[in-house]
Amino acid sequence: MNSWRAHVLRALGVGAIGLGVVGCVSGVSSAERERPVEPAPGLRSRVVAVALKNVGAPYARGGTSPAGFDCSGLVMYVYARAGRALPHNAVKQYELGSPVARDDLEPGDIVFFDHLRHSGIYIGGGKFVHASKPGDVVKISNIREEWFRRRWVGARRLH
């Protein structure tokens, strides 16, 4: 198993405990929890790998590097490292690509919340990577958590 796929599986709680993120699976079927997330081809697989590498980086308002990220800065940085330039603004990022329904998300899709004031990168299994708020770090959360579920705006897929 290649290292980034193993990292994704650990992060999703499949197999080993990895990254300390194995709880919070409410609203996820047992089949979905047990099914490993297969890597997406091309750009999307690179996006997921880079996003996961930055879990634990500190939050910094306006931040666009591993020294500190805000939400859209993380999305911009991750996509840039995967070969795609994006603006540093969630509203502008939401104008790109094509819309994706919540039930049709694939790893690498950009997810948006809270009137386009928050964004992250979907990694599969109902989980996404995001830079949440001052005093926190880049982390993995579940889109089915109450806060995210209630503030869902939409998702975009870049090709």
Catalytically annotated residues: 71, 118, 130
Q: Are 91 and 139 in contact (CB under 8 A)?
A: no
Q: d(Cα 43, Cα 57) in Å, to the nearest integer?
A: 22
Structure tokens at 44: 């999307």
Q: Are 55 and 129 in contact (CB under 8 A)?
A: yes
Residue 132 CA from chain centroid, whole number: 11
